[in-house]
Every structure is written in structure tokens, then in C-alpha cells.
Structure 1
Amino acid sequence: MCKGLAALPTACLKSAKDIKHKQVFLRFLIQKRDPQAADKKLIKEKTETAAAAKSIPTPAEVKQWKKSFNHVISSKTGRTVFTNFLRSEFSEENMEFWVACEDYKKSEPSKLASRAQQLYQQHVEADAPSEVNLDAATREETRRNLENACPTCFNGAQKMIYTLMERDSYRRFLTTKLIQDLCRTQTSRRD
């Protein structure tokens, strides 16, 4: 009868942990295999950061952001500031996926199937390079939707990620020093 992990010698357990760490490291290297894509992503991030620095939100805009997540995501500046916040939490793939879904809906009908496959492989598929956190049922529903690619085939997954950002990340975003400082700036301008 199996006695569990306690019955194994510590040398075996250490070897198993080493193998697991090597697998994780190799998976990381495989995902980072395209240096040009990484360079493009870095350039895009720098451009977005520079754009965010140039377009400081107005006091009215920040006030709207505090009212609802929809106001943040509907504003280009709001999305940029929120994406930078998500980047600090290592969850920027959520906004990338949401924006990619919005762009996908505007695709030409002849390009839907190929764009759907790319979007699925980039964000939805298990172990995707920018995998978003979806439950198994939504992931499977999205996979089935690819068989008949249409503008709405990612709606369930997109809604789940929107809700995740709204209920989780957005609440922390509102308590960041940046938002607090922007609110203080508003009140000092009124005085």
C-alpha cells in the first residue's frame, strides 16, 4: 500500500522538485522564443507609457473613473493608466485580451477564422503565452465557438475577464497612490 510522499527518500523529492523547476523554466524560455515580438512589445509599452504621461487625465475624467469600471475602460487614457496598473500586478494580459476581443469584433468576415485562432492561441488556450484566467467551462465553450468563428465567439470569455478586472483589479486600482494623488490634485485645484 502507498504511504505517500513521506515514504520517499528526501533525495527523490529534491530531484522531483528540480525537474519541476526545470520544466517551468523551459516553458518560460519557449514562450519567450521570439525576440522580435518581445522587442515590439517593449516598444509598444514605452509608447503607451509616453502617451499616458502626455495625456494627463482631467479631474472630471478621474472622477468618472471612480464611479465605475466602465468609465475607465471606455476612456483611452483610462485604459492606458489601468493597463500600467495591471502591468504592476503582472496581469496586463487581461486588458490585452479584452482589447483584442474588441478589435476582433470589428474584423472583416473573411478574416474572422484566422484572427479567432490567433486570439485563442495567444490568450485562451491552456499554457498560452498571455493566458487569461478562465474557468474550464468558458475555455471549452470558447474552443467550440472557433468551429464557426463569428464576431461574438469570444463574448463569454471577454465578459468573464471584464468581470474579473472589475471586481478584483479595479478595486485595488482605486486605492493606488496615483488615483489618490490625482484626486488630491483635483481638490487642491478647487481651493
Structure 2
Amino acid sequence: MRENLDSVSSQSMAFTDCMSSTDLLAENKGMKRKNWRNKLGFLLKTKSSHTKMHPTKNRSYRPTADDVNLWAQSLDKLLSHKYGKVAFRIFSKSEFCEENIEFWTACEDFRTLTSHKDLVSKANSIYEEFIKSEAPKEINLDYHTKDAIAQSLHKPTATSFLAAQRKIYSLMENNSYPRFIHSDLYKELYTRALSSGQTRP
């Protein structure tokens, strides 16, 4: 795991997609840790006697040490894993930038739609929630990208949000993802998985 952690350069951990560094230092770290511990409780649980008696019954209940180690290889591998995405979203929420992963996820869902009616409905929903000025979860996009999306709302396609999704992916990859890999949350997930003997079947 050490090699994977070191492969993510700490120099890329600029605070451009979440709170400012000053705000984060002012935030109560103990409270943040308590919050993500509560939300990740089902991933951090140690094996119960019931689980030990029935090892196959809850095999997929939590990530293995191999899974958690794999998350440090790339953001793509993290987001392609069910629990990896959950853990990253909880971490992002603790840093007040969950709108990025939520937007990325919404775009993934949007690209699976085939009905024009569904595309129009979902496109407008995403625009209202993440794109328009002063949206409740407004993401950090340039004017031209936002304008292109606005112009496509009357006749959206599966790729209408692709440019914006790529920009937000890059933002997460260079900022919140490295912080996640170096976070106490990630390290504790890995340590708990190791100590409980969770390995891939």
C-alpha cells in the first residue's frame, strides 16, 4: 500500500474543488472524523462471531484489503468499485465538495438513458441542480462549458454533459482524490480490512 500512497503526489493536493485550506484548518477535525466514522460504520465493522461462523454469507459486505489497496492506483478504479465510490463520497462530503462526485454520478446515469423524454427531463434536472448560476450544488465550470450545456437542453444527447463531466473528473483526480488516499479515513479502511483478514475470495 505504501507504494500506492506515495505514487499520488502530495504536491497536487491543492484546495481548488473543496473548502479553502484556511477553512479546513478552522474546521473541527475531531467532529469531521466522527461524522465519517458514523457514516462508514458498516465498512469499518470488525467481523462478528456470526460472520466467522458463516464466512461466505457476508463475503461481499465490506471491501477487502486488496480492494482498498486498488483504490490508490487510480480514481477510475476507486469509482468503479461500489464501496470505493461510497467512501469517496463520504470523504468529499466531509470536505464540503460532494457536489463534484454527485454531478459525476448523475452524468454516468444520464449517459445510460435512451428515451428522448427521459434525456430532456434528466438534463434539465442536472442543469438546475449543478450547472446554472447559484444552483444548490453548483460545480466549478467555465462560462463556455455552462453555456454549451444550456444551449443543448432543448435537444439533449447522451454526450451533452461529457465535456463538463471530464472537467470535474480531472478536478477530483488532481485535488480531492489525492487527499482521500492520504486521509485517515482511507488508512483506517485499509487497516481494518487487513486486521479482519478480508481478502478477495
| Alignment TM-score, normalising by the size of structure 2 | 0.64
Which of 145, 160, 165 aligns to 1:153? It is 160
Q: Unpaired runs of 5+ in structure 1?
A: 1-47
For the Cα contact (< 8 Å) 1:94–1:161, is it kept in 2? yes
| Aligned CA distance change for structure 1 residues 128 and 59 (closer, same or farther; 3 Å) | same
CA distance in 2, matches of 1:50, 1:185: 11
CA distance in 2, matches of 1:49, 1:172: 17
For the Cα contact (< 8 Å) 2:43–2:189, is it kept in 1? no
| DSSP-derived class of the 1:132 partner | coil
Q: Which residue of 2 aligns with 1:19?
A: none
| Paired residue type of 1:134 | L
CA distance in 1, matches of 2:43, 2:125: 28
Cα drift, residue 183 of structure 1: 3.7
Q: Which residue of 1 aligns with 2:14?
A: none
| DSSP-derived class of the 1:67 partner | coil
Cα drift, residue 53 of structure 1: 5.2
CA distance in 2, matches of 1:73, 1:115: 21
Cα drift, residue 138 of structure 1: 1.3
The question of 1:164 aligning with 2:171 is answered yes
CA distance in 2, matches of 1:120, 1:81: 26
Across the two proteins, how many residue pairs are aligned to each other?
Answer: 144
Q: Which residue of 2 aligns with 1:66?
A: 72
Which of 87, 90, 99 aligns to 2:93? It is 87
CA distance in 2, matches of 1:127, 1:182: 35
Q: Which residue of 1 aligns with 2:113?
A: 107
Cα drift, residue 151 of structure 1: 0.9
Over the residues paired in the alignment, what is the CA RMSD in angstroms? 2.4
The question of 1:173 aligning with 2:180 is answered yes
CA distance in 2, matches of 1:51, 1:99: 22
| Paired residue type of 1:132 | I
Q: Which residue of 2 aligns with 1:143?
A: 150
| Alignment TM-score, normalising by the size of structure 1 | 0.68
| DSSP-derived class of the 2:63 partner | coil
State which structure, 1 or 2, has the greater radius of gyration over its C-alpha atoms.
Answer: 1
| Aligned CA distance change for structure 1 residues 49 and 167 (closer, same or farther; 3 Å) | same
CA distance in 2, matches of 1:115, 1:182: 34
| DSSP-derived class of the 2:175 partner | helix
Identity %: 36
CA offsets 1:3-27 (integer angstroms, 9 cap, x no match) = xxxxxxxxxxxxxxxxxxxxxxxxx
Cα drift, residue 49 of structure 1: 4.8
CA distance in 2, matches of 1:49, 1:178: 9
| Paired residue type of 1:83 | R
Cα drift, residue 77 of structure 1: 0.2
Q: Which has the higher contact order (CA 8 A, sep 6+)?
A: 2
Q: Which residue of 1 aligns with 2:33?
A: none
CA offsets 1:35-83 (integer angstroms, 9 cap, x no match) = xxxxxxxxxxxxx756545743211101110111111110110000000
Q: Unpaired runs of 5+ in structure 2?
A: 1-38, 46-60
Q: Which residue of 2 aligns with 1:25?
A: none
CA distance in 1, matches of 2:121, 2:189: 42
